[in-house]
């Protein structure tokens, strides 16, 4: 069941099919659950041979105004979608690369240091929790830490309860985000909405109508920012979770069909 903040419920919009994709829009795309079907393990996802070419074509149509926004590291996105190498945000916005191929400078901040110290303190407890439940595994991305329980759904309650307890014991540097059979700790000052703001302040994104496709609670901050800008927010998935997204597509296949130009994918 989706858990969204009350203010997100209050701002929820009617869910309908999205309009046709505007060739001039600034396009922001989540990855797992949006462009790729979710796999038992992130390393087991399947990328169709046509997908990197589709990303390149969509970006070229917009002068480079396409960015992947994912919980994966950017290096992982580059590996999955090679030879595509465009604008991207990894780790929910902690990493960011502009359309010019340059990494955005990472300004040192006190709250980042607080978050890093808090992650160091909770890593042993999260590792112990993973050992307690066969099938639960710890994914340490360096600046974020996640516990996956897709292979052990019976552990979901214990994992979520333990994560909530750890968050209460930590300083304010961390936020806890829940996804599909996963919980993740990350520095509080980053989210997908904020990274969309950063992209929209830069060429070639600025001045365009933004479009964002995502599938999970981790994308709700992005949907809210898109709505604030009068853009097109689209949640992928056929479940009945509440969302602030204005539109819905039922599956990854439906999302890819919506993204594919009428004359078909690039050859």
Is 262 in a helix, a strand, or coil? coil
Look at residues 113, 169, 112, 122 and name the one whose alpha carbon lies nearest to residue 145: 122
242 is catalytic: no
Sheet containing strand 210-214, edge to edge, reads 95-97, 87-90, 66-69, 26-29, 210-214, 232-236, 247-249
Q: Token pair for residue 259? A: 């993204």
Look at residues 219, 223, 243 and name the one whose alpha carbon lies nearest to residue 232: 223
Q: How far lies 160's CA from each of 165, 200, 210, 252, in Å?
A: 9, 34, 33, 27
Catalytic residue (choose from 30, 215, 216, 219): 30
Structure letter (DSSP) for residue 37: -
**C-beta separation of 104 from 201 below 8 A:** no
Look at residues 215, 237, 201 and name the one whose alpha carbon lies nearest to residue 104: 201
Residues belonging to the active site = 30
């Amino acid at each position: 069941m989706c858990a969204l903040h009350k203010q997100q419920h209050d701002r929820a919009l009617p869910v309908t099919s999205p309009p046709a994709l505007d060739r001039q829009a600034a396009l922001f795309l989540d990855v797992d659950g949006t462009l790729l079907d979710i796999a038992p393990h992130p390393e087991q996802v399947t990328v169709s041979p046509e997908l990197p070419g589709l990303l390149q074509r969509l970006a070229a149509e917009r002068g480079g105004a396409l960015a992947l926004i994912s919980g994966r590291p950017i290096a992982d996105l580059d590996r999955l979608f090679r030879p595509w190498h465009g604008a991207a945000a990894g780790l929910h916005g902690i990493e960011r690369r502009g359309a010019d191929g340059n990494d955005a400078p990472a300004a040192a901040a006190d709250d980042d240091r607080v978050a890093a110290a808090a992650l160091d303190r909770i890593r042993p407890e999260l590792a112990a929790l993973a050992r307690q439940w066969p099938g639960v595994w710890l994914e340490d991305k360096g600046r974020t830490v996640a516990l996956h329980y897709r292979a052990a759904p019976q552990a979901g309650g214990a994992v979520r309860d333990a994560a909530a307890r750890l968050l209460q014991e930590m300083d304010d540097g961390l936020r806890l985000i829940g996804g599909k059979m996963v919980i993740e700790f990350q520095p509080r000052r980053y989210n997908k909405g904020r990274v969309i703001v950063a992209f929209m302040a830069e060429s070639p994104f600025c001045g365009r109508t933004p479009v964002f496709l995502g599938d999970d609670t981790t994308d709700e901050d992005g949907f809210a920012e898109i709505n604030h800008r009068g853009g097109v927010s689209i949640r992928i998935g056929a479940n009945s979770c509440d969302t602030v997204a204005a539109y819905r597509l039922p599956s990854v296949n439906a999302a890819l069909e919506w993204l594919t130009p009428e004359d078909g994918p690039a050859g």
